[in-house]
Amino acid sequence: MLGLRNLVYSGAVEPGERLSEIGISEMLGLSRTPVRAALARMEQEGILEAIPSGGYAVRSFTEADVHDAIELRGTLEGMAARLAAERGVQPARLVALKSLLARMDEVFGSHPDEMDFDRYVPLNAEFHEMLAGLSGSAIVKRELDRAKQLPFADPSAFVRAQSRIPAFRASLFIGQAQHRAIVAAMEMREGARAEALAREHARLARQNLEYVMTDRQLVERVPGLVLVSG
């Protein structure tokens, strides 16, 4: 799966180019069974589309497509936060969430230049995974997991592009403040506020996308963003 994803996201395969099980198997040195499964999975995620005559083609995306994917993820995260606030978060889970926030604070240091991106990425993913599970709804959790698989909708999709850009580093400090505000709203049982904060938090990714798309060097640093046209 990872080999095929890297192949597509690197731009080695052009949008619209046909992919076949046999060709990919030979290229990656894998048997056809895992390749078949990987192709089907990436079709479900919307990265590939099936061709009626057989095989798959790499899809291309517009910025509007990515905006919609980010907005959908933010809407579902907002719903998860609201439900968590309204239904109440178990004390043990709230303690775990606050502990995670403390570990994330350590990653930031006292200045943007001191931030440890290698530690931040998994911690950020863990925060969003925990948020998805706090709603108490298996349906919301499942649909949010699915939404995060949409092209570039994952909460950490643009983090690597941010590592050397001062303005982006500053935006992550804002994002951390939003993390804390979301948790505080859930703890205080303020459902509407928790929802609004989670949706606003997701829109940071949209702002970062718009910035990245203005610089080709930054585009090439975000896996898969070469598939997005203005």
| Per-residue pLDDT tens over the stretch 29-45 | 888 888 889 888 888 87
pLDDT at 124: 92
Question: What pLDDT is recorded for position 163?
Answer: 61
What are the domain boundaries of the chain?
2-59, 62-229
DSSP state of 228: E
The percentage of residues in the chain with a pLDDT greater than 70, rounded to a whole number, is 91
Residue of 83, 109, 77 lying closest to 178 (CA atoms): 77
- Encode pLDDT of 70-82 as tens digits: 999 999 999 999 9
Give pLDDT, residue 223: 67
The predicted pLDDT at position 111 comes to 66
Burial class from Cβ neighbours inside 10 Å (0-12, 13-18, 19+) for residue 104 reads buried
Largest CA distance in the chain: 57
Q: Which CATH superfamily is domain 62-229 in?
A: GntR ligand-binding domain-like (1.20.120.530)
Average pLDDT over residues 96-114: 85
Q: How far apart are CA 40 and CA 56, in angstroms?
A: 9
d(CA 34, CA 22) in angstroms, rounded, equals: 11
Burial of 167 (0-12, 13-18, 19+ CB in 10 A): exposed
Instruction: State residue 112's pLDDT score.
Output: 62
Q: Assign residue 15 a region (left: φ > 0; alpha: ψ between -120 and 50; beta: otherwise).
A: beta
Q: What is the pLDDT of residues 173-213, one digit of tens each?
A: 899 999 999 999 999 999 999 999 999 999 988 887 887 77
Could you tell me which of 211, 206, 212, 229 has the C-alpha nearest to residue 70?
Answer: 206
Give the pLDDT score at 160: 60
CA atoms of 209 and 188, how far apart (whole Å): 32
Higher pLDDT, 15 or 218: 15
Read off the tokens for 28: 């990656």
Q: To which H or E segment does residue 58 belong?
A: strand 56-58
CATH level 3 topology of 2-59 = Arc Repressor Mutant, subunit A (1.10.10)
Residue 1, pLDDT > 60, answer no
Strand arrangement, sheet containing 18-19: 18-19, 56-58, 48-50
225, 111, 100, 219: which is closest to 172 by C-alpha?
111
**Residue-averaged pLDDT of the chain:** 86
- pTM for the model: 0.81
Residue-level pLDDT at 70: 92
